[in-house]
Amino acid sequence: MKTATRLWSHGFIRTLSGLAIVAAPTCALFFGLVSTEGANTPSAAVQALSSVVVNADPASGKTDPTAVAGSMSCVECHKSEIAALKVSKHNSSITLITSHPKIAEFAKAANVALEDVLQDSICSSCHATQQDTGKGVHAIGSVSCESCHGGASGKPEWLKLHGDKKKGINAAVRAACGKAGMIRASNIYRITKNCVGCHVVSNQALVNAGHPVSTQKWKFELVGGSSGEVRHNFQVDQKVNGEAPTAWLKHAKGASEENRQRMKYLIGMLVDLEVTLGALKTVPKAAGKSDFAKGHAKRLKAVAKKLKEAVKELEDTTPAELAAAQEAIDDIGRISSLNFKSQDGAEIAEPKIAAAASALAENNDGSKLGKLDSVVKKRAKPRGDAYTP
Ligand code: HEC
Ligand code: HEC
Ligand code: HEC
Ligand code: HEC
């Protein structure tokens, strides 16, 4: 607790002086453009994917602190969403970097000065909401609305665009918000990149010092992860927490709760694969047996198994994008024991999986994936209880 008090007071005094320049790639995920260049012999399915434009924001993953308004700006219109957030563990995520016996150990390993943990550090990029109002980056609280939906006061400000009932909300307004950086309910791929950007740890020194490689209890599974305590689908009725985003159900063509679960299951799985491969490809050959390498290899194996199961279940209804992802994983060869070959394989497979994930999201609505339902039911267990006002 002593550490906590010290960190807090330091944290907020040292806004200007405490600019820790910490290697960004650890946490920010820079898997931008699709490229099959350098791949051995890309199959037709994979080649077809290379024409897909991957979701705009190249620095995907993390929210831009300079665009963060803070969740007080949402409370006027989103009371139940705020109430749901308040009772979830996200609302106390910052305590893990203010009052935990291992803070100093982890900070040292990641080359973060203790007094900078709540400033521009990789710790606060995952355990907090970072804001920069021109005086440098610092933590303003735990994980909050904009951690997942993008900064609301960038240029242009989607905060001003999206909730204006007088001007009306229509497809054009929604699209404009998306362009201004709002990560919308419809964009499962982008939402998932944010979750995984925090829930899968890509910093080698940190993991090798004992920080969990991922969410320990439930690895990462999007359907279960978002349908328990994280759920806040109140847009149509602030008293009823829907199974799927309620406004989206109304305005998106052919949208249904079942379709959404299916799409979330597959996209969650592919993004997890993408990020895990991205982590593995950074492992130097000499560190092939480190906790980081072993931890991610274990994750890779588990997700690859889930992918295989989904493809098997879907049979002839397997979407081309999912088949391409399966092919890319098969190309890696034996992943049960991580070796140099599989690390090189990770580098080749990662952009293919990224392309497959965003193309899958783009080209499918889930309506033809009914065969997946038994798998989703078996694998997706809600984390915590959904909040009801
Ligand atoms: C002035 C009222 C108002 C404020 C303030 C407001 N919202 Fe909203 N929000 C709305 C309305 C109305 C909708 C429904 C829009 C629609 O039907 O597309 C909405 C929808 C949303 C959606 C779903 C959009 C989609 O297309 O999937 C998200 C996410 C959201 N708001 C987040 C936020 C966040 C985060 C904040 C604070 C930074 C915020 N809102 C502040 C009124 C507001
Ligand atoms: C942990 C990430 C996360 C956080 C934090 C978060 N959201 Fe969301 N939000 C989501 C996801 C994921 C969905 C889509 C839900 C689904 O698929 O069931 C969503 C959906 C929404 C919707 C659409 C709901 C509907 O019924 O149409 C609104 C509005 C929204 N969020 C606003 C907010 C506001 C306001 C906050 C802060 C109080 C917030 N969100 C915090 C991830 C998050
Ligand atoms: C800015 C980083 C960040 C983002 C984005 C984020 N999380 Fe989290 N999340 C955390 C941290 C850190 C914890 C651990 C909090 C704790 O245990 O005190 C956590 C805890 C959770 C928990 C509760 C603890 C558990 O393991 O059951 C769930 C569920 C969860 N996150 C799901 C999600 C989902 C789903 C998304 C995306 C829609 C998401 N998170 C996005 C950082 C994040
Ligand atoms: C990529 C995102 C990410 C980064 C970077 C990160 N953490 Fe975490 N951290 C998490 C998540 C997610 C959990 C929750 C894991 C779980 O138990 O499910 C966690 C757990 C923890 C825990 C609890 C460990 C335990 O054994 O229960 C501590 C302490 C912690 N982090 C401190 C730090 C510190 C200090 C830093 C910076 C040096 C840091 N973290 C950087 C995401 C991150």
Spell out the per-residue pLDDT of the chain, length 389, in tens. Answer: 333 333 333 333 232 222 222 222 222 222 222 222 222 333 333 333 332 222 223 344 689 999 999 999 999 999 999 999 999 999 999 999 999 999 999 999 999 999 999 999 999 999 999 999 999 999 999 999 999 999 999 988 999 998 877 878 899 999 999 999 999 999 999 999 999 999 999 999 999 999 999 998 899 999 999 999 999 999 999 999 999 999 999 999 889 999 999 999 999 999 999 999 999 988 888 888 899 999 998 999 999 999 999 999 999 999 999 999 999 998 887 765 666 666 788 889 999 999 999 999 999 999 999 999 999 999 999 999 999 99
pLDDT at 338: 65
Residue 151, both tokens: 């900064």
Cα 234 from chain centroid?
22
What pTM, to 2 d.p., does this model score?
Answer: 0.89
- Ligand 4, from 96, 147, 272: best to mutate by most atoms within 8 Å of Cβ? 96
- In a domain, residue 248? The reply is yes
- In a domain, residue 177? The reply is no
Q: Count the domains in the chain.
A: 1
- In a domain, residue 241? The reply is yes
pLDDT at 335: 66
Amino acid at residue number 254? G
- In a domain, residue 372? The reply is yes
76 lines ligand 1 (CB under 6 A): yes
pLDDT at 51: 28
- In a domain, residue 361? The reply is yes
pLDDT at 198: 95
Question: From ligand 4's centre to the CA of 203, what distance in Å?
Answer: 11
- Taken in order 277, 278, 284, 288, the sign of the CA dihedral is negative
CA nearest neighbour of 84 among 287, 337, 385, 288: 385
- In a domain, residue 37? The reply is no
- In a domain, residue 52? The reply is no
pLDDT at 82: 97
Cα(85)–Cα(82) distance, rounded to whole angstroms?
A: 5
Question: From ligand 3's centre to the CA of 169, what distance in Å?
Answer: 30
CA nearest neighbour of 299 among 321, 283, 279: 279
216 lines ligand 3 (CB under 6 A): no
CA nearest neighbour of 67 among 180, 189, 162: 180
Which atom of ligand 1 lies at the shortest distance from residue 177's CA?
26
Q: Is the previous residue joined to 389 through a cis bond, with omega within 30 degrees of 0?
A: no
pLDDT at 340: 60
Query: Which domain range does residue 373 map to?
Result: 186-377
Those residues with Cβ within 8 angstroms of residue 129's Cβ, 6 or more apart along the chain or in another chain: 63, 68, 70, 71, 139, 140, 141, 142, 143, 144, 146, 147
46 lines ligand 4 (CB under 6 A): no
- Ligand 3, from 93, 146, 188: best to mutate by most atoms within 8 Å of Cβ? 93
Q: How far apart are the first and last CA of the chain?
A: 33
- Ligand 2, from 82, 130, 149, 198: best to mutate by most atoms within 8 Å of Cβ? 149
Which atom of ligand 2 lies at the shortest distance from residue 222's CA?
12
- In a domain, residue 59? The reply is no
